[in-house]
Homo-oligomer: A and B are copies of this chain.
Amino acid sequence: MLYPLYAAKETVTVVVDVLRATSAICTAFEHGIARVIPVPDVEDTYFYKDHDDVIVAAERGGEVVEGFSYGNSPFSYMNDEIKGKTLVITTTNGTQAIEAAKDSQIILVGSFLNFDALTENLRNIDRDVMVLCAGWKNRFNLEDTLFAGAVTENLLEAGFSYATDSDAALASLSLYKSAKYDLFDFLENSSHRNRLERLNLEEDVKYCLSFNKTRCVPYLKGDSLIDASKNGGLELLKSALQENKV
């Protein structure tokens, strides 16, 4: 909801929804999905249903939508069925955030699961970086903010500096420093962990808070996310910057 106040065109936007959309998307790439089409509404998925080589996923309020076999649990994507296929996915917060960011020069998808691969690319692209936290129904949430803090710490160590109006980045960094030695514990009282606990999804939470399970770098090309690391890597991203010159 606040994104337009901060958005600038010459920016690499990293969309994050740690619990669980962007973690699920990273896991799907790790297990061989060829591309991911994020769509905002459940209705938008109907067009793709019953297509060959397409998996359709829908989550609302933490649960798989009735009539769908996939939601946004990372574990559900750890299977061979998804290899080479296209995933069409809509979730409560994450896919809307990707939609909101569509004007930025480059959109990447981040999670703790692809942290190193993502930040290596950010360092090498060497542009302003904006982390767009999906939050929960437009509200602030802790876990996405912690991820933003982790990215901030990483880029500061690489010699990046704060932008002019960076109170949000400063706050995320301070929170991350308080939390980094036990993210799961830090989130004990957080609304989303409690929400998922009620749904027996504590294992999901733990998995989504673990670092570097994949080297994928999901990159939005047109309407689809592809894994930049398997499609040209940094060169792909650099040429995208040239093409999308503001």
Contacts and interface: CB of A to CB of B under 8 A. Distances in A.
Interface of A: 1-2, 5-6, 136-142, 145, 162, 164-168, 170-171, 174-175, 177-179, 186, 189-192
A140 B140 CA distance: 11
B175 A140 contact: no
A168 B139 contact: yes
Contacts of A141: 167
A51 B162 CA distance: 47
A186 B174 CA distance: 10
B136 A165 contact: yes
A175 B149 CA distance: 13
A138 B2 CA distance: 8
A139 B5 contact: yes
A166 B145 CA distance: 14
A166 B195 CA distance: 12
Given A2-B138, A5-B139, A191 B165 contact: yes
Given A167-B191, A178-B178, A5 B162 contact: no
A6 B139 contact: yes
Contacts of A137: 5
A32 to B, nearest CB: 34
9 contacts: A1-B1, A1-B5, A5-B139, A6-B139, A141-B167, A142-B171, A145-B171, A170-B189, A171-B171
A174 B140 CA distance: 15
